[in-house]
Amino acid sequence: MIKKISLTRYLVEQQRVDGHIPGDLRLLLEVVARSCKSISQAVNKGDLGGILGAADTENVQGEMQKQLDIIANEVLIEANEWGGHLAAMASEEMDSIYVVPNRYPQGEYLLMFDPLDGSSNIDVNVSIGTIFSVLKKPEGSPGVSEADFLQPGSQQVAAGYCVYGPQTTLVLTVGDGVAMFSLDREQGSFVLIKEHVEIPLDTKEFAINMSNMRHWDEPVKRYVDECLAGKEGPRGKDFNMRWVASMVADVHRILTRGGVFLYPWDKREPQKAGKLRLMYEANPMSWLVEQAGGAATNGQQRILDIKPTKLHERVSVILGSKNEVERITSYHGTL
Ligand code: AHG
Ligand code: MN
Ligand code: MN
């Protein structure tokens, strides 16, 4: 019989055998996984649970919220506020940080999340997800403030996402490679399906929203043009294109079989660095990709080296198979 390794056991062993994670971080990750399980249940019910459709409210980024954006946000807050492992949380769906209320003990970790990634796919039954990133509160700082969150992604102590697709799969790093766990609904637990995930260095698959082509900057245009030219072009091979419009699903494909994902800066709103958010989308995904042997850049610098200046900061994102990302970086003249 194949021995199944649960997420709990994996984390206990990370804590006990390798000393990679302290007990409080293990608790935090278990609680996040539990939250993802209940979000997965809500996603599964869909219309039957009456949770689809718009919420008629806007978030701080001016985006219309879906009911599920709000539900997923509440699930994560309620599950994480009382355990004593956190000092504060921050989310795409909340204007400012959520400090753990006084009635609960305060821990030393900071949790950030995109509770529901790929909101435009909720109502059409296409894969969506939850993305999370964990930092440690800087030592010696009294209380907790937004400034405590503004650490570069290289300071993350854990990061991951859960994709709600044909399977619900949780993907995690604590800085020792990437592991994947699928939800076994009969057992009610996440089970290890893959360890030491590796992204192939080369690829023939790219992901970008082509409808924005006319707004792109020259290096991105050049890269995509060369892919489209196929065998007859300078790359000498045919490329395939995929765009799910859920970053979790696109990154999951890249972690599984390679590829490159771009949501670059473009000329539509030149003052905006990009569409995706640094702290709870780009940073956790970039760390996962690097931990799997890939690379992640904004075209100018490694994403994990960017020092954030605000919670909801946006960033240009190019990540995936290393040789491909390096090629795009060289087109930006920064390699
Ligand atoms: P969110 O639903 O959390 O706002 O994120 C959506 C993001 C990301 O998941 C995806 O890659 C991208 O937006 C899709 O954007 P387009 O609709 O412009 O393709
Ligand atoms: Mn998102
Ligand atoms: Mn979201």
Q: Provide the residue ranges of all domains of the chain, joining segments of one domain with +.
A: 7-194, 205-331
Tell me what the mean pLDDT of segment 41-70 comes to. Answer: 86
Residue 1 has pLDDT above 80, yes or no: no
Position in ligand 1 atom list of the atom nearest CA 117: 3
Burial (CB < 10 A; 0-12, 13-18, 19+), residue 99, is middle
Note the pLDDT tens digit of each residue in 283-312: 999 999 999 999 999 999 999 999 999 999
Query: Given pLDDT bands bounded at 50, 70 and 90, which one contains residue 265?
Result: very high
Q: Whose alpha carbon is nearest atom 16 of ligand 1?
A: 245
Q: Which residues line ligand 1 (CB under 6 A)?
A: 63, 92, 114, 117-120, 209, 245-247, 263, 275
Pick among 3.30.43.10, 3.40.50.2300, 3.20.20.480, 3.40.190.80: CATH of 205-331: 3.40.190.80
Q: Is 256 exposed, middle or buried (0-12, 13-18, 19+ CB in 10 A)?
A: middle
The arithmetic mean of pLDDT across residues 217-235, rounded, is 98
The answer to whether domain 7-194 and domain 205-331 are alike in fold is: no
Q: Which of 162, 263, 266, 281 to mutate to test the pocket of ligand 1 (most atoms within 8 A of CB)?
A: 263
Mean pLDDT of 38-67: 86
User: How many whole angstroms from 87 Cα to the centroid of ligand 3?
Assistant: 22
pLDDT at 46 over 80: yes
pLDDT of residue 63: 81
Nearest CA to ligand 1 atom 3: 117
Digit-coded pLDDT (tens) for 142-155: 899 999 999 999 99
Write the pLDDT tens digit of every residue in 72-83: 999 999 999 999
| pLDDT tier for residue 3 given thresholds of 50, 70 and 90 | confident
243 CA: nearest ligand 1 atom: 19
Query: Superfamily for 7-194?
Result: Fructose-1,6-Bisphosphatase, subunit A, domain 1 (3.30.540.10)
Q: Which of 209, 254, 278 to mutate to test the pocket of ligand 1 (most atoms within 8 A of CB)?
A: 209
pLDDT at 18 over 90: no
